[in-house]
Amino acid sequence: MGRYWVLSGLLLSLPLVTGWTTSRCLVTEGSHLPLVSRYFSLCPHSRLSILAACFPVSNLTQTLDAVPRAVEGLCLRGSVSTLLPDAFSAFPGLKSLGLNLQLTRLLPGALRGLGQLRNLSFVENPGGKKNLSLPPDAFSDLISLQSLHICGPCLDKKAGVHLPPSLQWLSITLSCLQDMGELAGMFPDLVQGSSSGVSWTLKMLDLSLNWGLKMASPGSLQGLRVEILNLRGTQLGAVAVKALGLEKLDVLYAQTATAELAAETVAHFELQGLTVERSKIGYISQEALASCRSLEILGLSGTGLTELPPGFLAAMPRLRRLDLSGNRLQITTLCRNETGDASGLTTLNLSGNGLSTLPPATFSCVPHLRELLLPYNQLLSLEGHLFHDLQQLETLNLDKNPLLNLGKSWLAALPALTTLSLLDTQILRSPDPGFWGAKSLHTLSLRLPALDAPAVLSLPMYLTSLELLIASGVKHWTLSPNIFPFLETLTIKGRGLNLGVQNASEVFPALQKLFLLQNSLDAFCSQGTSNVFLWLLPKLQSLKVWGAGSNSRPCLITGLPSLQELKLESLQSTSQPRSVQLEELVGDLPQLQALLLSGTGLKSLSAAAFQHLRSLQVLVLDTEKDLVLLDSLREYSPQMPHYIYILQSELACQCANAWLELWVKQSTKTYIHIRDNHLCPGEVRVPARDSLTPFLWDHCPQTLEPKLFLATSALVLLLIALPLLQEARNTWIPYLQALFRVWLQGLRGKGHEGKRFLFDVFVSHCRQDQGWVIEELLPALEGFLPAGLGLRLCLPERDFEPGKDVVDNVVDSMVSSRTTLCVLSGQALCDPRCRLELHLATSLLLAAPAPPALLLVFLEPISRHQLPGYHRLARLLRRGDYCLWPEEEERKSGFWTWLRSRLG
């Protein structure tokens, strides 16, 4: 329910011209972000309700005028050299801001008003190396800022910019840093002895990808406390970090220029984590190993290791995660430990080491291992006794290994195994049921080779997630058993699997997510005249089909009562392209909320397609060509999705699209975003143009029919207007005359202070209600205290000047009265004079700067929509200056109490 309130607020905050005028700003809700995520790569966007991405931006003020004020995430890309003061002050709720604007300077106060901002990014194109000038107080108003990311631009080494105390992540990447000591000049708060006198603590200091960074001036960051320091992609060795003067450092990602592990740095800070990937260490000495007792995480990927020193794991008793990928290790050295002590290691990555065999005692010293990664090796065979010591192993990854021979029940020694990946392997068919002895397996990723003869794949029936990559062959694989009662996620890539589509709901009763990749929908659809998707899965919530240009004809996705997200991509046949309508692709899906179509061959979109999509909130049309949006959508607009995105799709240059611009501008129920200006053949792009003119009337045939239509329409309107002239003569003309007299008397712009009134209350009523006025109202108002109020009333029948025009009497009496009291009933609303008096009273109430009071008394219940000029009475009725005359005697005292209080 909360989502609909957010949506309502978003639509209300959009400008009146919502669609094409915001063509350079894409607006979405956080829950729908995965559908358009590629446009929001500039700024972090986790758990935000409303986001906007605008590009290209040349005039920042004009661009931001089209952005909803309630936006929480904003990504801007373009060319704006200077950020002016209060540039984003209209967005006080902004939490994430990403700027790729080729900025050169921020003026003081440019980020003023962003007290809720948490993430701020300045990004420039790689290689630009532009200087960004920041004033010292650039971030003074960002009291909630947690993450600051500067990627690309170069900062002044002596900028002296003050950081907000809330900052926890500081990232300066692809910049001009040459010495880490330059940070003290850029951000003096980082160094001990600043104005606060308290050591600064950062969770992350990211200086990666600064190719020129190769120096660390001793003591330049004295007192700074850092949990994680990232120096990947720099020339600064891990050993140099020791001299910086850091008070605390927990985890270091770095490259080392020496052929030795940065043991001194580890010992100095008692590091918990060290990663020195792609550094040519080659060999680790016993002396270096003795200094690494504090490590819990060690990454040695691509460091040229061929063997590990004796007692490698025993020397690091706290070690939990070890990455040895991309080396050429002799794995027999892993557990070469004279003491025989068991390591507490839980994650081991040995991928890409060229391993062809694993001796039986390979993992004897790591009994607590829970994750073992062995992809990209040359393993040919595996036997069960290899894993006897891994009783707690939960995840095993063997991708990209030949695996030509697997021992019978080779997984039986892994009782805790829940996740197994065998992608891109050459495993043979196994007749052993239960998938080689695995008893607790729940998640399986498997590649099946091509077949020359039919074969049955035996799988655990208790799987919850299954991914199958099947090579196409002469014959197809068949799954066993016949029912997977707990399977929730199924991914099928390829066409070499034979699945019975008729009884899918019985085979997969709990399936919630289905992904069909590089797979023709023809195998899952009926083959009659009606090509319908036959997997009627009652609990399916997400379905993605990527056809890879192989579908020969449309397949209707229908009959899925729980489906909420549907993605259909690359369904257009490359050999036999065809045009389809949305009704041929999507049928009755009552719970569908998000629909993405990309490369399906969609050519037209009409209202009929949405009649069975009652819950649809988001429609994304991506890479579709020559789209025609039929004008039936205009009448169906209130039931349309809340968001429609037309991304990298071309609208057909046809007269059928001529109505589109007006609909886009006037739509209040649906936010329509068309990514780019589209040109018809032969047209010249106008950079300042922001409209749909290529699809307007100049592409419609110039015939006599439009002129005849306009002429007949004018004649019909004239005939309709004739009966209204008499009403205008009796009602509107006197009404306008009265307003003109009020204007001449100077009521506009003048107050009533010091004015003497002839009457206290002017009473407007019809002849049928005169009895109530004389019997009930007159004694209560004109009577003497205490029964009455002693007021002087102006009654038309009694106090109007004889022989004077009715309109003049009404105007003079209202102007001469402090308060106008309208007695309304069904008969009064039909009386021309009462209607005129009500018109004049409400007009005076709204027109004059100090208007007289207006009270309404209803003698019977009347709908507010029956009142003439309802739009002018809306403000009055919301204030409560009206009351209903009660029939019950006991409630009449409350009515008189209200009336006395309103008359003062």
Tell me the DSSP string of 733-766. Answer: HHHHHHHHHHHHTT-TT---TTPPPSEEEEEE--
Structure tokens at 670: 């649906």
Check: CB of residue 258 under 8 Å from CB of residue 235: no
Which of left, alpha, beta for 880 (phi over 0: left; psi -120 to 50: alpha)?
left
- Per-residue pLDDT, averaged over 197-223, amounts to 89
Determine the pLDDT at residue 751.
46
pLDDT band at 261 (very low <50, low <70, confident <90, very high): confident
- What tens digit of pLDDT does each residue of 122-176 get? 998 766 678 999 999 999 999 999 999 999 999 999 999 999 999 999 999 999 9
Range in 252-261, 393-402, 596-605, 794-803 the model is least confident about: 252-261
Give burial (CB, 10 Å; 0-12/13-18/19+) of 727.
Answer: exposed
Report the alpha-carbon angle 419-423-424, nearest 5: 160
- What tens digit of pLDDT does each residue of 59-95 get? 999 889 888 899 999 999 999 999 999 999 999 999 9
Determine the pLDDT at residue 7.
41
- Per-residue pLDDT, averaged over 867-887, amounts to 69
Determine the pLDDT at residue 23.
58
What is the signed CA dihedral for 620, 624, 626, 627, rounded to 10 degrees?
-20
Residue whose tokens read 């409303």: 50
pLDDT band at 20 (very low <50, low <70, confident <90, very high): very low
- Per-residue pLDDT, averaged over 522-544, amounts to 85
CA distance 349 to 300: 10
- Per-residue pLDDT, averaged over 808-823, amounts to 85
CA distance 832 to 118: 63
The size of the chain, in residues, is 904
pLDDT band at 700 (very low <50, low <70, confident <90, very high): low
Handedness of CA 771, 773, 776, 778 (dihedral sign): negative
Determine the pLDDT at residue 713.
77
Check: CB of residue 467 under 8 Å from CB of residue 494: no
Return the biggest CA–CA distance within the chain: 125
- What tens digit of pLDDT does each residue of 359-413 get? 888 888 899 999 999 999 999 888 878 888 899 999 999 999 988 877 777 888 8
What percent of the chain lies above the pLDDT cut of 70? 83
Determine the pLDDT at residue 147.
95
In order, the DSSP letters of 589-632 are -TT--EEEEESS-EEEE-GGGGTT-TT--EEEEES--SBEE-TH
Q: Which amino acid is at 566?
A: L
Which of left, alpha, beta for 152 (phi over 0: left; psi -120 to 50: alpha)?
left
Q: How many CA atoms lie within 13 A of 494 on its CB side?
A: 20
The DSSP H or E segment spanning 835 is helix 832-847
**pTM greater than 0.75 (yes/no):** no
- What tens digit of pLDDT does each residue of 618-658 get? 999 988 888 888 888 877 777 788 888 888 887 887 777 77
CA distance 397 to 505: 31
- Top pLDDT among 497 and 820 is at 820
CA distance 14 to 668: 9
Quote the mean pLDDT of the chain: 82
Q: How many CA atoms lie within 13 A of 846 on its CB side?
A: 14
- Per-residue pLDDT, averaged over 334-349, amounts to 82
CA distance 521 to 550: 8
Determine the pLDDT at residue 9.
44
pLDDT band at 466 (very low <50, low <70, confident <90, very high): very high
Range in 80-94, 698-712, 787-801, 824-838 the model is least confident about: 698-712
| Among the listed residues 283, 329, 338, the one whose alpha carbon sits nearest the alpha carbon of residue 310 | 338
Give burial (CB, 10 Å; 0-12/13-18/19+) of 837.
Answer: buried
Determine the pLDDT at residue 736.
62
Determine the pLDDT at residue 311.
85
The DSSP H or E segment spanning 299 is strand 297-299
- Per-residue pLDDT, averaged over 514-533, amounts to 80
What does DSSP say about strands 321-323 and 297-299: parallel, antiparallel, or unpaired?
Answer: parallel
